[in-house]
Amino acid sequence: MNRLIILLVFFGICFIPKSWAQETIRAEERISGLFPGLSFLRFAQQVESQTSYKFYFSPVDVADLIVNISAKDNTIRQVLDGVFDGKDLKYSIDEKNRIFISKGKALDTSLPLDFFTQVSELEKDSILRQSDIDRAFSRNKLYVIGKAENSGKTEAVLRGKVTGLETGNPVFGAVIFEKVNYTRAIANQDGQFEIKLPIGRHTIFIQNLGGFVEQRQISLQGDGVLDVAIEENIISLSEVTISSEKMTNISRPEMGVQKLNMETMKQIPAILGEVDIIRSILTLPGVQTVGEASVGFNVRGGAADQNLILFNHATIYNPSHLFGLFSAFNPDLVESVDLYKAGIPVQYGGRLSSVLDVHAKYGNDEKITVRGGIGLLTGRISVEGPVGEKTTFALGARSTYSDWLLDILEENTDFKDGRANFYDLNLNVSHKLNDKNIIRLNTYGSNDSFGFDRDTTFMYQNRSINLGWTHYFSDRLEGEFVAGRDHYQFEIEGRDNPANGYNFGFGIKQDFFKANFSYEYDLRHTFTFGLNTIRYGLNPGFIQPAGPESIVIPEEVNPEQAIETSIYIGDNFEVTDEFSLNFGMRYAIFNYLGPNTVREYKPGLPISPPNLVGETTFNNGQSIKTYSGPEFRISARYSLNNISSIKAGYNTNRQFIHLLTNNAAIAPTDIWKLSDPNIRPQWGDQVSIGYYRNIKVDKYEFSVEAYHRNMRNLIDFRSGATLILNNAIEQSVLRTDGRAYGAEFLLRKNTGKLNGWISYTYSRSLLRTAQDEMAEKINGGEWYPNNFDQPHNAVLVGNYALSKRFSTSINANYSTGRPITLPVAKFNYGGSERVYFSDRNAYRIPDYFRIDFSINIEGNHKVRKLAHSSWSIGVYNLLGRRNPYSVYFTPVNGILQGYQLSIFAEPIPFITYNFRI
Amino acid sequence: MGKRISYVVAVLLLFLWGSCRDPFEPEVTNADISLLVVEGYIETNGEESTIYISKTNPIRSGSATLPVIDASVFLISSTGEEWSFSETDSGTYSYTGFFDIQDTYQLGINLTNGKQYLSEPMKPIVTPEINELNFLRDEAGVEIFISTKGTDEAQYFLWDYEEHWIFRPGVISFLKFENGAVSKREPDERIDLCWSSNIFPKIILQNSARFADNTIIQRELVRIPNESEKLTQRYSIKVRQRAIDQATYDFWEILRKNSDDIGGIFSPLPSLIGGNIKAISPETDNAIGYVSIGQSASQRIYIDYEDVQPWRIFIPEYEFCFVLADTIPPNEAVTAFNNIDRVPAREVFDGMFFLGYRAATKKCTDCTLRGTNRAPGFWED
């Protein structure tokens, strides 16, 4: 007996969490009778004989206690309270109606829930979380109440009990109401309520006076019961963090999706002090780049042109300024960024590797806000806010004033007339016509122009405009219609001497229309379907004489036209709560259109001039070649429990537009090419599988994903390929197969003073000249590494908030050196030592390692001040490590020398001032 | 043009962002693949035709070139007529004669180890004359340019050049120390004026098809930067212009890209290099190199200091050259100059009275250490 008590005390103190230590509320037996001047022992015996209660006590404790009480239908508690009134004795009653009497402190009689089933840390976490989720879920979950009867009843009675969430006590006076007819009921002393409602769906609100409003979605089909637990506490104002996305990693069916919001991106130390979207996504697993200052990024072993970059529906062909030093997106206008690496939603298509969907702001609807920033090289300003009640806008501009830097350099360099300028402009407007219709206008323009001497000027620009209309056909069906135009071009003005003056240029114009629908069929099915069409017009290159003295012959590669149309349908199917399936199909049709002249070659022989059979000329609008085919997007998620899930996916993609680049990095002067009869569309598929788990109530997020990709009809180039002003580009390319595989590990800490993530990626990306490509076999037709094949990649992004005003960020980046082709032999030719290259990409440059550091200082928190300001100070490449971009041999005075070229060879400090009015 | 674009882009980044180029020796294989390398141009109009035959070296090898000796080199016309080349220097095979420019030819090479090579058929191309070879003085120095006019048959041009120039050492001395005594130098012993040369120049290529009437106007060949010693007194450049076919042009372009245009940020990836000399014996790799046949055109110009003056000269090797202040009495000349470093530079007189010599270093006085004091055979004053 005593041992049991001791044991119970021990467990009561050590293991029982407070919330579970409540006494069980149950129907109690009633006691009636007169107990005049009995010893406690006698009293106990009498009660025991009358009821099922058993008493346990130490006789010493009750030795001098006399019971003098009269009871009539009283509970044992009422009786005992009377008996022990004013005494130093306490009692407790357990489930088996055993009453323990003790001196001073009541015994805790309940066992911890895990007393017999030892709960692991993991499960505890899961349970803790479940209570969290349950609350969020139960607000929106549809409770089906009652049995449907075909008795023609139109109303039903809903009964229930309102209890406190923490105490479990009945909440007296809680108001239960629904807002359509304002039917209401009030809970009685026991928390019981009864309300009569029409059969059908209702939103029930439950409110304790001065407390939270709880809500329940119900589908009332007949009389029934709904018990509700509500918060009793008075609301106190505190910071609210909305963390709706935490769960999505586990629960969303797609995989390979990375979301970054602006707050996260702001914490990554940026080069030159400006938040940079492209650089931010480079910190994510599976995203790599061939080197610093390069325009493109590579997703899961795919080439840079295999990324579809969307900025509020506009396709951005060149997402950078100043050859990749800045990305083309004004950070003040960006809301968030989604990167789809694998589970590309069915509404997107046209690229093999990824979709980078950049969402821009439309402005808040409360007040006009001005933001801006001033850095060493760039300045930006943006205005957003409401115009009237129904319209909001966001307007932004950014420009550089880097000329002063070139001016400083002048004395030491030859750049007397060097200049580099860029700007970009955004205007986004959203107008709500009524509850069912919203119209959005997106415009974007960017311009880069730079020159290094007085002779040559380069410029490129993006121009985009589109208009979208979102219409809610019903509660379940939503439609979005977007029409717009994107334009990208670059131009080089050569003014070497009057006789050779030229303008060289390239341009893409695309007109597009999208219709996307989303239909919530029922609770388990959500359908998406729609149609996308793009009309391409490419000017693949022209050169024109500039000035009257120029003898340059104007030349133009035949313009190209095509229409790419795709229809798609997908279903997000929640098979069970644990298992959900997202599957869809997209059918793409590509028509290469006239006017154009296409060349035919003897089948089965290399595509080269000797095998040219003839040329066919097509008229305006005539269909020259049609490619079509389905694309599949399937992904499935199975929740192991509410903190972990596994996912698998398979998708295929087709790509009809190709970037022709014979460099490792994308140059601003690379041109795009449409698929034509001789250049087939690229095709790729991907199988992926992943495991996701959240640890410590979402504090940590862990994921591992593995993938394997096959790609066909990629483009590699023959030796000495000429890409510019080449009308017969098919004679310079090699059809190539690709293969990529890898695994990505990510551990992320989302909350707390210290947050950030660490990721490791193992990945390979290999190419092989297609088996039936006759013209040339790179590396003898064997697999060779892609230019951006960097097997090991590790990234650490860490932020530490010292206080509300000071925070520090660090970004460390390691990757295997990229592959490079090195010479294996040398010889003398043309009066100089020359090199003979062997296998493509057989060597690697040294490994890459870089650390960036930044400090963000928020201005003071005074309420009355002109502007909210913040400073960002930091150093890019803190260690000053000379990470080589390339390694090569070049003859110096006829003798070969080995060199390595580093781009950011020194630590680069930066400072930026940001403000918000 | 593509090359130029990537060049300027790379250069801008180089200067803007503290990028840098460091010497680096990557780990590469030392295996000797030992491919045959053939270079040459066959002149059809009676000038000497030269074919150079060598083998590749491993990239780390110290020796620069491995000439292939005792090979049998011959030219066959389509009618079967055959001309044999003779080895004039190790690995250098020459023939001087006239060939019918209407015919096609193949070059054959048989090595002593039994390996045999034969070129693809080559058609002679007659190179148009050089219209103008001239120069332009501007703020950055002197630009030497060429103008010519191609034809429909001769659209691709290749230029190579030889430069010779006079330079002077840091300290002019007419004295010598010989057999224990200081004496005046004879005219043929002078070390104060030398000729230097650059015969390892860059290859320059141009496609004339891009210009109206295949006219190439003022194509820059060489740039002489300010302060260059080349224009100390008199400079000469001889340019050889050759019209080649497109395949040869592409070969040279690859060769140029692979060595000059590599490693930059937007540089093209290296290309495989081939040629028109194919192996005909079994188990033999094709040779590297493009041999062509035709008639070249050459022109030489001279540029004098007077043409470009003012022209300041800075020669880094002579930056710290001066005549030593101490006067060495004649009786100490033997001890002072009997070494390889110190030479007499000036005679010192006090009025008519001979005091002795002032010295300078040999490096500063002897221009023959960096050139030759014999004028090249062609040199005109």
User: Do the Cβ atoms of A776 and B8 come within 8 Å?
Assistant: no
Q: Which of A759, A758, A768, A770 is nearest to A789 (CA)?
A: A768
Residue type, position B10, single letter:
A
Whether residue A509 is predicted with pLDDT greater than 70 in this model: the reply is yes
B37 touches chain A (CB under 8 A): yes
Report the pLDDT value the prediction gives residue B15, as an integer from 0 to 100.
Answer: 41
Tens-digit pLDDT profile for residues A165-177: 766 777 777 888 8
Whether residue A788 is predicted with pLDDT greater than 80 in this model: the reply is yes
Whether residue A375 is predicted with pLDDT greater than 50 in this model: the reply is yes
DSSP characters over A505-525? EEEEEEEEEEEEEEEE-SSSE
User: Do the Cβ atoms of A724 and B57 come within 8 Å?
Assistant: no
Residue type, position B100, single letter:
D
Which band of pLDDT confidence, cut at 50, 70 and 90, is reported for residue A619? very high
The predicted model gives A681-702 an average pLDDT of 89
Report the pLDDT value the prediction gives residue B263, as an integer from 0 to 100.
Answer: 63
Report the pLDDT value the prediction gives residue A149, as an integer from 0 to 100.
Answer: 64
pTM over 0.80: no
From the CB of residue A12, how many other CB atoms can be counted at a distance below 10 Å? 19
Share of chain B above pLDDT 70, in %: 91
Q: And the tokens for A740?
A: 């990529």
A862 CB contacts (<8 Å, ≥6 apart)? none
Q: And the tokens for A317?
A: 């062909």
Whether residue A353 is predicted with pLDDT greater than 70 in this model: the reply is yes
Whether residue A404 is predicted with pLDDT greater than 70 in this model: the reply is no
Q: Which of A741, A609, A648, A835 is nearest to A256 (CA)?
A: A648
Whether residue A19 is predicted with pLDDT greater than 70 in this model: the reply is no
Report the pLDDT value the prediction gives residue B59, as an integer from 0 to 100.
Answer: 79
A296/chain B closest Cα distance in angstroms: 12
DSSP characters over A182-214? --EEE--TTSEEEEEEESEEEEEEEE-TTSPEE
Q: Residue B40: list chain A partners with CB under 8 A.
A: none
B324/chain A closest Cα distance in angstroms: 33
The predicted model gives A476-483 an average pLDDT of 94
Comparing CB atoms, the residue among B55, B253, B259 nearest residue A832 is: B259
Tens-digit pLDDT profile for residues A236-265: 444 444 444 444 666 777 777 888 888 778
Three-state secondary structure of B292-356: EEEECEEEEEEEEHHHHCCCCCCCHHHCCCCCCCCEECHHHHHHHHCCCCEEEEEEEEECCEEEE
Going from the C-alpha of B169 to that of each of B111, B233, B316, B370, the distances in angstroms are: 47, 12, 11, 9
Mutate: best of B148, B271, B276, B370, partner A, most A CBs <10 A: B271
Which band of pLDDT confidence, cut at 50, 70 and 90, is reported for residue B5? very low
The predicted model gives A390-405 an average pLDDT of 84
Q: Residue A824: list chain B partners with CB under 8 A.
A: 28-29, 31, 33, 58-59
Q: Residue B55: list chain A partners with CB under 8 A.
A: 827
Tens-digit pLDDT profile for residues A184-242: 888 887 888 888 888 888 888 887 765 667 788 888 888 888 888 776 654 444 444 44
Q: Residue B264: list chain A partners with CB under 8 A.
A: 886, 901
Phi, psi of A180 (to 5 degrees): -80, -55
User: Do the Cβ atoms of B1 and A452 come within 8 Å?
Assistant: no
Which band of pLDDT confidence, cut at 50, 70 and 90, is reported for residue B266? low
Report the pLDDT value the prediction gives residue A27, as an integer from 0 to 100.
Answer: 54
Mutate: best of B52, B139, B252, B259, partner A, most A CBs <10 A: B259
Report the pLDDT value the prediction gives residue A410, as an integer from 0 to 100.
Answer: 45
Q: Which of B133, B111, B131, B108 is nearest to B121 (CA)?
A: B108
CA distance B378 to B48: 17
A409/chain B closest Cα distance in angstroms: 8
| The listed CATH number (2.60.130.10, 1.10.357.10, 3.30.70.890, 3.40.50.80) that belongs to domain A121-230 | 2.60.130.10
Report the pLDDT value the prediction gives residue A132, as an integer from 0 to 100.
Answer: 57
CA distance B219 to B156: 13
Question: Residues B163, B222: contact at Cβ < 8 Å?
Answer: yes
The predicted model gives A264-289 an average pLDDT of 81
Q: Which residue of B has its CA nearest to A720?
A: B254
A665 CB contacts (<8 Å, ≥6 apart)? A290, A291, A293, A294, A295, A296, A324, B265, B266
Report the pLDDT value the prediction gives residue A595, as an integer from 0 to 100.
Answer: 93
Between B145 and A70, where is the model more confident?
A: B145
CATH 2.40.170.20 range(s) for chain A read 258-916
Q: Which residue of B has its CA nearest to A504?
A: B1
Tens-digit pLDDT profile for residues B213-265: 888 888 889 989 988 899 989 999 999 999 999 888 888 888 887 776 666 65
Question: Residues A240, A877: contact at Cβ < 8 Å?
Answer: no
How many residues are given for chain B?
381
- The answer to the question of residue B101 being in a domain is yes
Q: Is ipTM strictly over 0.85?
A: no
Q: What angle do CA B15, B20, B24 make, to 5 degrees?
A: 160
CA distance B226 to A276: 43
Report the pLDDT value the prediction gives residue A419, as an integer from 0 to 100.
Answer: 72
Q: Which of A404, A400, A396 is nearest to A370 (CA)?
A: A396
Phi, psi of B277 (to 5 degrees): -105, 110
Q: Where are the beta strands (DSSP E) in A53-174?
A: 54-56, 66-75, 89-93, 98-103, 142-145, 155-164
Contact pairs from chain A to chain B, CB under 8 Å: 248
Between A27 and A887, where is the model more confident?
A: A887
B263 touches chain A (CB under 8 A): yes
Q: And the tokens for A401?
A: 């004033």
Between A290 and B82, where is the model more confident?
A: B82
B282 CB contacts (<8 Å, ≥6 apart)? none
User: Do the Cβ atoms of A669 and B217 come within 8 Å?
Assistant: no
Bridge partners of A800, per DSSP, are A754, A808
Between A415 and A872, where is the model more confident?
A: A872
Going from the C-alpha of A439 to that of each of A393, A475, B74, the distances in angstroms are: 12, 18, 80
Q: Which residue of A has its CA nearest to B201?
A: A831
Whether residue A20 is predicted with pLDDT greater than 60 in this model: the reply is no
Report the pLDDT value the prediction gives residue A687, as an integer from 0 to 100.
Answer: 95
A396: left (phi over 0), alpha (psi -120 to 50) or beta: beta
The predicted model gives A632-649 an average pLDDT of 89
- The answer to the question of residue B143 being in a domain is yes
Comparing CB atoms, the residue among B26, B250, B265 nearest residue A720 is: B250
| The listed CATH number (3.40.640.10, 3.55.50.30, 3.30.470.30, 3.30.70.270) that belongs to domain A2-103 | 3.55.50.30
H/E stretch holding A674 reads strand A671-674
From the CB of residue A392, how many other CB atoms can be counted at a distance below 10 Å? 22
User: Do the Cβ atoms of B211 and A551 come within 8 Å?
Assistant: yes
Question: Residues A206, A200: contact at Cβ < 8 Å?
Answer: no
User: Do the Cβ atoms of A667 and B5 come within 8 Å?
Assistant: yes
Report the pLDDT value the prediction gives residue A219, as an integer from 0 to 100.
Answer: 83
Question: Residues A207, A214: contact at Cβ < 8 Å?
Answer: yes
B247 touches chain A (CB under 8 A): no
Report cis status (omega within 30 of 0) of the bond before A59. Answer: no
Report the pLDDT value the prediction gives residue A211, as an integer from 0 to 100.
Answer: 61
Q: Which residue of B has its CA nearest to A723?
A: B2
User: Do the Cβ atoms of B22 and A902 come within 8 Å?
Assistant: yes
Q: And the tokens for B61?
A: 């090898």
Comparing CB atoms, the residue among A406, A718, A886 nearest residue B263 is: A886
Whether residue A685 is predicted with pLDDT greater than 60 in this model: the reply is yes
Tens-digit pLDDT profile for residues A551-561: 888 889 999 99
CA distance A698 to A248: 11
Report the pLDDT value the prediction gives residue A138, as an integer from 0 to 100.
Answer: 67
B160 touches chain A (CB under 8 A): yes
Residues of the domain holding B289: 33-166+196-308
The predicted model gives A685-705 an average pLDDT of 88
The predicted model gives A342-360 an average pLDDT of 91
Tens-digit pLDDT profile for residues A299-315: 999 998 999 999 999 99
Tens-digit pLDDT profile for residues B345-370: 888 888 888 888 888 888 888 888 88
H/E stretch holding A623 reads strand A623-641
Count how many domains chain B has: 1
Comparing CB atoms, the residue among B1, B26, B210 nearest residue A887 is: B26
CA distance A508 to A499: 29
Q: Which of A724, A894, A826 is nearest to B203 (CA)?
A: A894
The predicted model gives A485-513 an average pLDDT of 89
Could you give the 3-state DSSP secondary structure of residue A774?
A: coil
Which band of pLDDT confidence, cut at 50, 70 and 90, is reported for residue A865? low
Question: Residues A876, A271: contact at Cβ < 8 Å?
Answer: yes
CA distance A266 to B324: 66
User: Do the Cβ atoms of B269 and A717 come within 8 Å?
Assistant: yes
Whether residue A347 is predicted with pLDDT greater than 80 in this model: the reply is yes
Quick one: B307 exposed, middle or buried, by C-beta within 10 A (0-12, 13-18, 19+)? middle
User: Do the Cβ atoms of B21 and A900 come within 8 Å?
Assistant: yes
The predicted model gives A801-826 an average pLDDT of 87
B340 touches chain A (CB under 8 A): no
CA distance A551 to A548: 8
- The answer to the question of residue B265 being in a domain is yes
H/E stretch holding A81 reads helix A76-83
CA distance A824 to A828: 14
- The answer to the question of residue B202 being in a domain is yes
CA distance B16 to A450: 13
Tens-digit pLDDT profile for residues A793-809: 999 999 898 887 888 98
Quick one: B129 exposed, middle or buried, by C-beta within 10 A (0-12, 13-18, 19+)? exposed
Whether residue A590 is predicted with pLDDT greater than 90 in this model: the reply is yes
Share of chain A above pLDDT 70, in %: 85
Three-state secondary structure of A241-271: CCCCCCCHHHHCCCCCEEEEEHHHHHCCCCH
The predicted model gives A852-862 an average pLDDT of 80
Alpha helices in chain B (DSSP H): 2-16, 246-260, 305-308, 333-337, 362-365
Report cis status (omega within 30 of 0) of the bond before A791. Answer: no
**Least confident piece of the model among A65-74, A265-274, B101-110:** A265-274
User: Do the Cβ atoms of B33 and A838 come within 8 Å?
Assistant: yes
Q: Residue A669: list chain B partners with CB under 8 A.
A: 2, 5-6, 266
Q: How far is CA A428 from the centre of its chain?
A: 22
Report the pLDDT value the prediction gives residue A28, as an integer from 0 to 100.
Answer: 64
Which band of pLDDT confidence, cut at 50, 70 and 90, is reported for residue A407? low
CA distance A341 to A319: 18
CA distance A31 to A97: 14
User: Do the Cβ atoms of B270 and A821 come within 8 Å?
Assistant: yes
Share of chain A above pLDDT 90, in %: 31
B301/chain A closest Cα distance in angstroms: 21
- The answer to the question of residue B299 being in a domain is yes
Q: Residue A887: list chain B partners with CB under 8 A.
A: 24, 26, 263
Q: Which residue of B has its CA nearest to A843?
A: B28
CATH 3.55.50.30 range(s) for chain A read 2-103
Q: Residue B288: list chain A partners with CB under 8 A.
A: 827, 829, 836
The predicted model gives A423-432 an average pLDDT of 94
Q: Residue B199: list chain A partners with CB under 8 A.
A: 831
Question: Residues A862, A849: contact at Cβ < 8 Å?
Answer: no
Q: Domain A258-916, CATH 1.10.40.50 — does that match?
A: no
Q: And the tokens for A782?
A: 């064997």
Comparing CB atoms, the residue among B37, B201, B267 nearest residue A663 is: B267
B5 touches chain A (CB under 8 A): yes
- The answer to the question of residue B354 being in a domain is no
Which band of pLDDT confidence, cut at 50, 70 and 90, is reported for residue B10? very low
Angle between helices A40-50 and A76-83 (to 10 degrees): 170
Average pLDDT, chain A: 82
User: Do the Cβ atoms of A901 and B264 come within 8 Å?
Assistant: yes
Q: What angle do CA A157, A161, A163 make, to 5 degrees?
A: 155
CATH 2.60.130.10 range(s) for chain A read 121-230
Report the pLDDT value the prediction gives residue B3, as an integer from 0 to 100.
Answer: 37
Between B190 and A323, where is the model more confident?
A: B190
Going from the C-alpha of A451 to that of each of A63, A415, A542, B102, the distances in angstroms are: 104, 9, 20, 48
User: Do the Cβ atoms of A669 and B2 come within 8 Å?
Assistant: yes
Q: Residue A840: list chain B partners with CB under 8 A.
A: 269
CA distance B359 to B343: 6
Between A148 and A834, where is the model more confident?
A: A834
User: Do the Cβ atoms of A903 and B59 come within 8 Å?
Assistant: no
